[in-house]
Amino acid sequence: MSDPSFPLFSDLNLSEPLLRVLKELGYEAPSPIQAATIPLLLNNSDVLGQAQTGTGKTAAFALPILSRIDIKQTTPQALVLAPTRELAIQVAEAFQRYASHIPGFHVLPIYGGQSYGAQLSALRRGVHVVVGTPGRVIDHLEKGSLDLSKLKTMVLDEADEMLRMGFIDDVETILQKTPEARQTALFSATMPSAIKRIATTYLRDPELITVAAKTGTADNIRQRYWLVSGMQKLEALTRILEAETFDGMIIFARTKLGTEELAGKLQARGFSAAAINGDIQQQQRERTIQQLKDGKIDILVATDVAARGLDVERISHVINYDVPHDPESYTHRIGRTGRAGRSGEAILFIAPRERNLLKAIERATRQPIAVLDLPSVEVVNDVRISKFKDQIAETIAAGGLEVFHSLIEDYEREHNVPAVEIAAALAKMARGDVPLLIDKNKPAPRESWGSEKPVSGGRFERAERFERNDRPERSERFERPERTERSAAPRKERVPRAPDEGMQTFRIEVGHAHGVKPGNIVGAIANEANLDSKYIGRIEIYDDYSTLDLPNSLPSDMLDHLKKVWVAGQQLNITADSEAASAPTAKPAPKKSESPAQVPFSDRPARSDFAAHFDKPAQSESRERPARTERPAPASPLAAAATPKKEHFESDEPLVKEPGAQKRERTAQKKAGAVDMEAFRIEIGHAHGVKPANIVGAIANEAGLEAKYIGRIEIFEKHSLLDLPAGMPDEVFDQLKNVSIAGQPLRISHSGLRPMEEKTMDKRVTLAPPSKGGDRRVADKARGNKPVSKRVAVASGKSFDAPRSASKPSTGPSGKPMIKLGTKRK
């Protein structure tokens, strides 16, 4: 079958919830691949489809799968294999979008580089569709966490790409573990011999569908894109509107509310703009379009649905303010310009993490999209001056100025003011509060990533983890002192420097332009790579990249993992920094008494009053955190990182010190500004696959609580205990309740116990026996038993005791046996 006729979606026997969604999305007629594939998959036939990216094949297999889904069965019923993480996320979000009217539907993307904990939790709860990359799918099959026994449909998406990337053997391994009665759909842009062999071996009498990609892009349309980087999209759009010469323009926004808000903001800036969307009545829509045709308005802000079928010859520009859902939608959008033989301009605003969609659009249109150089302040000011002079010339040419001549002459004579001064005052009066020129010394507003999420920024986009603009800013959570002149100074040029002894400087591809902060980098590396945050040295942030110091003995596998970590929508792509390698040897860090009191990171903003709340002294310039007075740091900085399963290490220091030593130590701690701690309980433990670094990283990164204020941590089967500063502000406590780790909300609460540091030192503490929920360590000590302990290092650089009794197993505050970190649980 090839190039079938085009029925409507309503003719394809799709379920009613799906037809409702398609109507809301503005889709009426299926694409050729959809029209050919959907009836076959609904009829349980195997399909071999040869189709390019951008032909609509995701909907071609997603819609029939959703039509036959059994919501009551939570074992995976469909498995989609994709070659890349980005494609897996896009396909999963497409399923979620099409299933918006199917209550209880769950789709799960699984791919490498993401924590197993969240995936395991979701699989335990139950999902209907799994979209994954071959390697991670095999991992789950080997662990027994992915059950394919009830699988109905198997889809191989972009099979030739999986072949090119070397995944074809993994694909066959997965196919062999699926039920023989399954339905299989294979899609590939090309049909090399290896793909044909798989089709012959694993597909049953497949129907062959061949559909050529629709380019649909006229040669007279110039396509450009602007990479959203730092500046607000509205500010960039305003510059383009002022500098570009255009007749009529359509600006595409993703939502109905977005069209109305953007049109209102453009009107406030002096542009003749109007909005159309699905909520606008037909009569008003027709009136607005007629105004656009007549030149009464120049800019139309529209959704995809509202702009379908729109044909206005004077449209010279199309701007994709929000990224379209797929390449085919992009083709439809830019087809509104370049009509009747006229040339057209198409501009795409795209975020850094949406580059994958940009490449898909280029493949679909078979045309390269050039980079747009955003007009500079000087260019915009030149345009404004030129327009200002043109307005003067037009006003003089129009005439009717006689009445003003005598007024100006009288004012000039009475006040002895030159005519040029009077003309300047009148011009300023005409402008009102709007300045004629842009101040080039005023920095452009930064982009707010939380307000306009890109198409791939759904709940599957892990980059969102480090861009929590839905929470209050730090200035709202804590009262931040005003920034000093030093912190507000212009960013300095980079001067190559050598790292401290035992450290190596690395470069990561994320910087000021992406809105990154030092806390994002520290939290991501500590949480994603299980690297203790105390081993992360100096961080320096530049415009489009950053440098940081890490131990020079970093294992290669950990370095490979860090390359895939995402921060602020950017993949780190970490590499050794060549400039630092050639820099002169770094001098030893100054002593604390000699160094200036400032934050340890060169670009970190001023500390919040949360630190001041505990009377914590400012940190010194030295990048090394002071060692705790009661115990030395572990000998190897990578002991925990390189061998994660050996989290214990021995210490000759006694667990319980004699009373005199305790008193002296506490006095020294108070003089040093030590923080009083309080014990808290969080509802996450070994059963959720959590580790201390996950807890520290998540709390430090997502709640804005610095890692130095996170004390000891004890992990039990289904909950954990940790020490946090006493007297914590309510807003911080409320924020911590909403933090999630490994797919579990912390649900933090006061444990009712003394802080773990005090429980091991104060003999006056009296608790119930272990069998009734007491603390075993204190009970043992009260009886004179000498506890046996090992200390466990956590990501904050602190450590905690995992005690063992010589006679009975250790228990936690709940009275249950305590599971030691680094030991295998059965």
Domains of the chain: 9-211 (3.40.50.300), 221-377 (3.40.50.300), 463-613 (3.30.70.330), 639-804 (3.30.70.330)
Residues of the chain above pLDDT 70, percent: 66
DSSP string across 490-557: PPPPP---PPPTTEEEEEES--GGGT--HHHHHHHHHHHS---GGG---EEE-SS-EEEEEETT--HH
For the entire predicted model, the pTM comes to: 0.37
Taking residue 427's Cβ as centre, other Cβ atoms within 10 Å add up to 13
What's the Cα-to-Cα distance from 687 to each of 675, 693, 743, 825, rounded to whole Å? 31, 16, 12, 10
Contact 242, 378 (CB under 8 A): no
Q: pLDDT tens digit string along 129-140?
A: 999 999 999 999
Give the pLDDT score at 220.
80
Task: Region of 530 please: left (phi>0), alpha (psi -120 to 50) or beta.
Answer: left
CA atoms within 13 A on the CB side of 617: 15
Average pLDDT, integer, range 527-553? 79
pLDDT confidence band for 686 (50 / 70 / 90): confident
Task: Give the torsion through C-alpha atoms of 159, 160, 163, 164, to 10 deg.
Answer: -140
Within 8 A by CB and 6+ apart from 321, the residues are 233, 237, 251, 252, 253, 258, 262, 301, 349
φ, ψ dihedrals at 546, nearest 5°: -140, 160
Give the pLDDT score at 582.
55
Token pair recorded at residue 623: 């990048």
Average pLDDT, integer, range 735-742? 74
* SS3 state at 216: coil
- Reported as type and span, the H/E element at residue 155 is strand 153-156
pLDDT confidence band for 675 (50 / 70 / 90): low
Contact 574, 559 (CB under 8 A): yes
Contact 236, 305 (CB under 8 A): no
Q: pLDDT tens digit string along 33-54?
A: 899 999 999 999 999 999 866 5
Q: What is the DSSP letter of 330?
A: H
CA distance 565 to 526: 11
Give the pLDDT score at 704.
59
446 or 697, which is more confident: 697
Radius of gyration over every alpha carbon of the chain, rounded to an integer in angstroms: 32
| Res. 332: pLDDT tops 90 | no
Give the pLDDT score at 77.
97
CA distance 521 to 705: 14
| Res. 482: pLDDT tops 70 | no
Average pLDDT, integer, range 784-797? 38
Average pLDDT, integer, range 11-26? 90
Give the pLDDT score at 231.
60
Token pair recorded at residue 761: 């030192």
Contact 194, 165 (CB under 8 A): no
Give the pLDDT score at 707.
67
Q: Residue type at 418?
A: P
| Res. 486: pLDDT tops 50 | no
Q: Residue type at 726?
A: A
CA distance 357 to 455: 9
Average pLDDT, integer, range 50-61? 81
Task: Report the candidate in 726, 790, 718 with the shortest Cα–Cα distance to residue 754.
Answer: 726
Sign of the torsion angle spanned by Cα atoms 512, 514, 520, 521: negative
DSSP string across 230-285: SB-HHHHHHHHHHHS--SEEEEE-SSHHHHHHHHHHHHHTT--EEEE-TTS-HHHH
Give the pLDDT score at 625.
37
Q: What angle do CA 350, 355, 360 make, to 5 degrees?
A: 105
Within 8 A by CB and 6+ apart from 632, the residues are 651, 653
| Res. 749: pLDDT tops 60 | yes
Within 8 A by CB and 6+ apart from 432, the residues are none
Task: Report the candidate in 656, 667, 657, 695 with the shortest Cα–Cα distance to residue 798.
Answer: 695
Contact 252, 319 (CB under 8 A): yes
Contact 719, 813 (CB under 8 A): no
Q: What angle separates helix 85-98 from helix 16-24, to the nearest 10 degrees?
A: 110
Contact 177, 148 (CB under 8 A): yes
| Res. 204: pLDDT tops 50 | yes
Average pLDDT, integer, range 292-312? 86
Q: pLDDT tens digit string along 168-195?
A: 899 999 999 999 999 999 999 888 999 9
| Res. 462: pLDDT tops 70 | no
434 or 678, which is more confident: 678
- Residue whose entry in the numeric block shows the structure tokens 């892990």: 462
Give the pLDDT score at 6.
56
377 or 40, which is more confident: 40
| Res. 737: pLDDT tops 80 | no
Average pLDDT, integer, range 581-591? 47
Q: 679: which strand partners?
A: 723
Give the pLDDT score at 742.
66
| Res. 73: pLDDT tops 90 | yes
Q: pLDDT tens digit string along 251-298?
A: 999 888 889 999 999 998 889 999 998 788 767 887 898 899 899 999
| Res. 104: pLDDT tops 80 | yes
337 or 300, which is more confident: 300
Q: What is the DSSP letter of 376?
A: P
Average pLDDT, integer, range 453-474? 35
Q: What does DSSP say about strands 749-750 and 788-793: parallel, antiparallel, or unpaired?
A: unpaired
What's the Cα-to-Cα distance from 364 to each of 343, 358, 806, rounded to whole Å? 20, 10, 69
CA distance 252 to 333: 8
Give the pLDDT score at 440.
64
CA atoms within 13 A on the CB side of 530: 22
Contact 423, 412 (CB under 8 A): no
φ, ψ dihedrals at 108, nearest 5°: -130, 120
| Res. 557: pLDDT tops 60 | yes
Give the pLDDT score at 343.
85
Token pair recorded at residue 191: 């049909």
pLDDT confidence band for 776 (50 / 70 / 90): very low
CA atoms within 13 A on the CB side of 778: 24
Contact 364, 328 (CB under 8 A): yes
| Res. 75: pLDDT tops 50 | yes
Within 8 A by CB and 6+ apart from 435, the residues are none
- Reported as type and span, the H/E element at residue 659 is helix 659-671
CA distance 527 to 695: 8
CA distance 190 to 176: 23
Task: Report the candidate in 394, 392, 400 with the shortest Cα–Cα distance to residue 424.
Answer: 392
Contact 701, 525 (CB under 8 A): no
| Res. 601: pLDDT tops 60 | no
Task: Region of 360 please: left (phi>0), alpha (psi -120 to 50) or beta.
Answer: alpha
Q: Output the average pLDDT for the chain.
A: 72
Give the pLDDT score at 155.
97
Give the pLDDT score at 120.
93
Task: Report the candidate in 293, 369, 296, 278 with the shortest Cα–Cα distance to residue 336.
Answer: 293
For the chain, give me the number of helices (H) and strands (E)?
A: 30, 29
Average pLDDT, integer, range 733-750? 77
pLDDT confidence band for 429 (50 / 70 / 90): confident
Task: Report the candidate in 327, 326, 371 with the shortest Cα–Cα distance to residue 349.
Answer: 371
Token pair recorded at residue 288: 């607005």
Give the pLDDT score at 133.
93
Task: Report the candidate in 696, 276, 364 with the shortest Cα–Cα distance to residue 524.
Answer: 696
- Residue whose entry in the numeric block shows the structure tokens 């210490």: 651
Least confident of 200-204, 320-324, 697-701: 697-701
pLDDT confidence band for 377 (50 / 70 / 90): confident
Q: In three state form, how does the secondary structure of 59-127 look?
A: HHHHHHHHHCCCCCCCCCCEEEECCCHHHHHHHHHHHHHHCCCCCCCCEEEECCCCCHHHHHHHHHHCC
| Res. 103: pLDDT tops 70 | yes
Q: Residue type at 536?
A: I
Give the pLDDT score at 5.
52
Q: Which of 9-18, 440-449, 641-650 has the highest mean pLDDT?
A: 9-18
Give the pLDDT score at 648.
34
